[in-house]
A and B are shown apart, each in its own frame.
Chain A
C-alpha cells in the first residue's frame, strides 16, 4: 500500500539518539517551572552567541527584511535555485573568514540547500547509485544513517577508529573498510568525514589529511568533508584547523574534482531553524546537477536576504567569530574541568559544541560492554535527568563513550547538570567502594577461612600420619 521506505525504519529514528530526545520532550528541564526535568545535553546547538545577533538586528532595524515596496515583490518571487547572488557572495566570504583566510571560496561553486541534512542527501544522490557505499570514520553523527542512506539506497561502511590512538583515521583503517565493502560486493564511491568531528570535537591532523588525500586519490573516489562546525574551532591544535578545502587547490585536477564540502549556518551562527546549508565543489557537473536537485529544498528568499545583509557586515562578522570562539572555549573548559574533578576524562578536543566523554569508569561491569553502556545511558536519562548521546548511537566501536553537549544551555543549567553528574559519579563510586569494601571483607574472610582449613587439614593429616 505504501512505499518500502515508509514501512521500514531506515529513517534511523529508533536509535537511542532520537529516543533520548523523546524522553527530554516529555519532561524538559526548566530552571523555574521544572527544575527536576531532563536537561538536554544531546542536542548540538549553539546558543552561546544569540545575543550578538539580536544586537545586530536591533541596530539595523530592518523593517521586516523588505526595505522598500518594490523590493518585497522581487524577494517574494525569487525562487531561482542559483540563490541570491549577494547571499552567496557573503557566504563565500564568511567561509573564508572562519578559516582565518587560509582558503578562499568562489560563490559560483556554492549550491544552496535546505540545511546540511539536505546537502548530504543531495551529494549521495549525485555521487552514488543505490547499493553503492561511502566509507565513514566512526564514531559519526547518528543523523547520517538517515541523511545518507534512507532515500538514496546508499550504504555506509564504517572506518573503525580506536581510543588507543585518540580515534584518528589511519591508512590501514581506510584500507580495511574499503576491503570490507568489496567483500560485501559494494562499489565504494567515496569517503565522508566530518571536520571538525562530530562527536569527537577534534579537527583532522596534517597526517590524517595527507592519508585521506592519498587514499581517495589512489582509489579514484570522492572525498566529502562536512565542515558544519568549522566556526567552532576555539583552540589551535598543533596543525591548526585544516579544512579539506585546501585540497581544492592541490594542482591535481582530477582529484580536485572529487573533493566536496558541506557547510551550514546552523551550528556556527546558531540558526538551525533557518535551514541554510550548502554544497561546495569544483566539479561543474556536480554543481549543475546538485543545483537542479536543490529545487526540492531551496532556502527561503526571506532568509537569504536577511543573512546576506548580516554576513556582509564585515565588522560584525569579525567580532562575532571571535566572541563565539571565546565563549565556546570557556564553556567547554568549564565542563571538562568539572568532569575531571569527578574523575571523568574527556577526549582532548579543539572544536565542536560537545565533549567526547570517557565514562567507561562508570559502567556497571568490570569489562566494558554495550549492554553496560545502554544501562548507564538509561540511568543517565531517567535517574540523573541528563539526555546525552550514547557512543553506540554514533557507531563507536568501543562502549563507554558519550557525547555531551554544552553550548545549548545557559550557565545555570550547566551548573545543575554538572552537579547531577557529580552526585551520580560519587554515588557510583560510593557504591563501588562499599561493594569493594564488602568484597574486600569477604576476600579477607575467605582467606582467613582458607588458612584455618589448611591448618586444620594439616593437623588432621599429621594426626593421621602420626597415628
Chain B
C-alpha cells in the first residue's frame, strides 16, 4: 500500500497555507467553537451555549420573507420568474447587473437619509465585505505595506486585510478615558511609529459605525481623518457595513457626506473608498453581497477585474435588484429595523444596568461593548481571558473578549444582541443576572468573613445599597452554575 511513500518527503503547502494568517487561532473563534459543540436550542438543548459572539441581524427576517412571498418576480426559480433564468444564469459580467448596481446605489443613499447620492458606476462587487477588504487591500497596498486601524477593531481584519495580501495592520490605540475616540495624536503616533520602523503606510481603515463599539464618528473627527489622510497622502477606507443599524442619535455621518464639504484642492477624492455589504443592514450574510465603492477611477477599474475572484451570484443580484427597487418596502424596512434595534438595545442595556453592568453608550450596531473591568481579578489580559472562559463555559454565553479586537485595555467584551429572538434574549439575561447574583452572594460572604481582617484587601467600595441587593434577588434566575468569583462585587461601580 505504497509503504515506500512513507519515506518520501511530504510536499509542503505554501507558506500562506501553512501559516496562521487565517486568524482562526484567535479567541474570537474559540468561542464560536464552544458554541458549535454545545449550541443552545430552546427545545433541544436549553442549557447550551447562547451565541452572542455573532454580529448578525435577525430582527427583520420576517419583513423580507413577506416581500419574497408577495413578489415571485424577484426569484428566477418560480414558474413566473423562470423566463428570466437564461439571461440571469448566463450573466457573469463583472460589471454586475445594471439594475443591481442601481438598486445598491439608491439604497446606500436612502440609508444616509438621501443626504448624498451614489454613482452606480463606482460600485464594484465582492464576495461579501470579507472579499471587499481583501480586494481593496490588493488594490491599494503591496506586501510589507501597512494600514493604520484604530482599536478596538473587527478581528476579521487580520485575515481579510493581511492574509493573502502580505499587508500589515498597525493599531491606532484608542482609550476608554475618552470613549475610544480616534484622536489626531494617536494617529500621528501610529504613523510616526511606522515611519521610524521603515514601514510604508498606505492608508487608514475605519469602521463607521464602529464594530465593536457601536458608536458613530462625529463630524469633527471625520474631518480630522480626512485632513490627516490628505496631509500624509494616504488612503482612507471607510467600512460602513453597519450604516443602517443606527437606532438613535447622534446621526450617522458617512464619509460620502463629509467629502462634499471639501473643495478638490483640500481633499483628493482618489484617496477615498467605502466598503459596504447587505449582510448586517438587511440580515443577508449568506447571500455574500459585498461592495467596494471608490472615488478613484483606477481602483474601480482594477477592482472590477479583481472582482472576478468573488462575483455575486447573478441569482442573488437579480433578487436584490428587485427588492431594492421597491421604494416603499425599503423605506419601511429601514425604519422598522431601526425601531426593533432600538427596542432590543434599550431593553438589554437597561436590564444590564439593573445588575450593575455598564456598556459603552452607543447608537448603532448589532452589539454592545460591555464593561466588565471591575469583575477582573486584576487589570490584565490574562484575567480578561479567565473571566471570558467562565462566561463561555459556566454562564454559557459566547461573548467576544476585547483582546480579540486588539483593545488596548482589558475588561471589555462585545456582546451581540440582534441575532436571537426575544425568548432567547430573556434566557441570556437571566443567566447574566444569576451569574451576577451568585457572585454577589459569594462576595458578601467573603466580606462578612473578612470583616475582622483587612476588608480593604477585597478592594470593595461599599457603595451598593441593600435595596439594590433586594432588587437583584427578586429577579428570575436561570439554572446555570457559575464558579466562585474574585473578590469584587459586580455591583460596585467605579464612581467617577
Interface on A for B, CB 8 Å cutoff? 1-7, 11, 13, 45, 47, 50, 53-54, 57-58, 60-66, 69, 72-73, 75-79, 114-115, 117-118, 121, 125-129, 132, 146-147, 151, 189, 220-222, 251-255, 257-258, 266, 270-275, 283, 285-286, 289-290, 292-293, 295-303, 306
Which one of B15, B58, B90, B131 contacts A297 once the chains associate, using CB atoms below 8 Å? Answer: B131
Complex contact B64–A117 (CB within 8 A): no
Complex contact B298–A303 (CB within 8 A): no
Q: How far is the CA of A307 from the CA of B76 in the complex (A)?
A: 12
Complex contact B139–A151 (CB within 8 A): no
Q: How many pairs of A and B residues are in contact by the CB < 8 Å rule?
A: 253
Q: How far is the CA of A66 from the CA of B323 in the complex (A)?
A: 15
Proximity bits, B64-82, A CB within 8 Å = 1, else 0: 1100110010111111001
A64-B72, A66-B68, A300-B316 known; A127 vs B17 contact (CB < 8 Å): yes
Q: How far is the CA of A464 from the CA of B306 in the complex (A)?
A: 84
Separation in Å of the A302 CB from the closest CB of chain B? 5
Nearest residue (CB) in A for B284 is A76
Complex contact A72–B85 (CB within 8 A): no
Q: Does B185 contact A (CB under 8 A)?
A: no
Complex contact A57–B82 (CB within 8 A): yes
A114-B310, A151-B138, A285-B17 known; A254 vs B8 contact (CB < 8 Å): yes
Q: Which residues of B contact A45 (CB under 8 A)?
A: 90
Complex contact A53–B77 (CB within 8 A): no
Q: List 17 A-B contacts (CB under 8 A).
A: A2-B299, A6-B299, A53-B89, A63-B78, A76-B284, A114-B311, A115-B308, A117-B309, A254-B2, A273-B89, A275-B311, A290-B17, A293-B163, A295-B159, A296-B131, A299-B313, A306-B315
Q: Which residues of A contact B226 (CB under 8 A)?
A: none
Further pairs besides A72-B64, A151-B309, A252-B2: 7, Cβ < 8 Å: A6-B138, A54-B86, A62-B77, A72-B61, A76-B283, A117-B309, A299-B288
Complex contact B90–A57 (CB within 8 A): no
Interface centre among A283, A289, A297 (most CB of B within 10 A): A297
Complex contact A274–B11 (CB within 8 A): no
Q: Which residues of B contact A258 (CB under 8 A)?
A: 11
Nearest residue (CB) in B for A288 is B17
Nearest residue (CB) in A for B57 is A77
Complex contact A251–B82 (CB within 8 A): no
Interface centre among B88, B163, B306, B313 (most CB of A within 10 A): B313
Q: Which residues of B contact A58 (CB under 8 A)?
A: 79, 82
Complex contact A252–B313 (CB within 8 A): no
Complex contact B82–A300 (CB within 8 A): no
Nearest residue (CB) in A for B312 is A300
Complex contact A253–B309 (CB within 8 A): no
Complex contact A270–B17 (CB within 8 A): no
Separation in Å of the B324 CB from the closest CB of chain A? 15
Complex contact A303–B17 (CB within 8 A): no
Q: Which residues of B contact A306 (CB under 8 A)?
A: 77, 315
Separation in Å of the A272 CB from the closest CB of chain B? 4
Complex contact B61–A53 (CB within 8 A): no
Interface on B for A, CB 8 Å cutoff? 1-2, 5-6, 8-11, 13-18, 22, 24, 56, 58, 61-62, 64-65, 68-69, 72, 74-79, 82-83, 85-86, 88-92, 127-128, 130-131, 134, 138-142, 145, 159-160, 163-164, 233, 270, 279, 283-288, 296, 298-299, 302, 305-306, 308-316, 319
Which one of B127, B233, B270 contacts A296 once the chains associate, using CB atoms below 8 Å? Answer: B127
Complex contact B75–A65 (CB within 8 A): yes
A54-B82, A274-B89, A303-B313 known; A298 vs B8 contact (CB < 8 Å): no
Complex contact B164–A125 (CB within 8 A): yes
Q: Which residues of A contact B287 (CB under 8 A)?
A: 76, 300-302
Complex contact B10–A69 (CB within 8 A): no
Q: Which residues of B contact A6 (CB under 8 A)?
A: 138-140, 298-299, 302
Separation in Å of the B290 CB from the closest CB of chain A? 9
Q: Which residues of A contact B90 (CB under 8 A)?
A: 45, 47, 50, 270-273
Which one of B79, B92, B305, B315 contacts A300 once the chains associate, using CB atoms below 8 Å? Answer: B315
Q: How far is the CA of A306 from the CA of B91 in the complex (A)?
A: 17
Q: Which residues of B contact A60 (CB under 8 A)?
A: 77
Complex contact B6–A253 (CB within 8 A): yes
Q: How far is the CA of A11 from the CA of B138 in the complex (A)?
A: 13
Q: Which residues of A contact B312 (CB under 8 A)?
A: 275, 300
Complex contact A57–B77 (CB within 8 A): yes
Complex contact A11–B305 (CB within 8 A): yes
A77-B286, A285-B13, A306-B315 known; A2 vs B140 contact (CB < 8 Å): yes
Separation in Å of the B35 CB from the closest CB of chain A? 13
Complex contact B164–A3 (CB within 8 A): no
Q: Which residues of A contact B76 (CB under 8 A)?
A: 57
Q: Which residues of A contact B139 (CB under 8 A)?
A: 2-3, 5-6
Complex contact A303–B8 (CB within 8 A): no
Q: Which residues of B contact A147 (CB under 8 A)?
A: 308-309
Separation in Å of the B320 CB from the closest CB of chain A? 10
Q: How far is the CA of A258 from the CA of B288 in the complex (A)?
A: 31
Smallest CB-CB A-B distances: 3 pairs: A273-B314, A301-B286, A297-B310
Q: How far is the CA of A177 from the CA of B485 in the complex (A)?
A: 67
Q: How far is the CA of A80 from the CA of B159 in the complex (A)?
A: 16
Complex contact B13–A126 (CB within 8 A): yes
Complex contact A303–B315 (CB within 8 A): yes
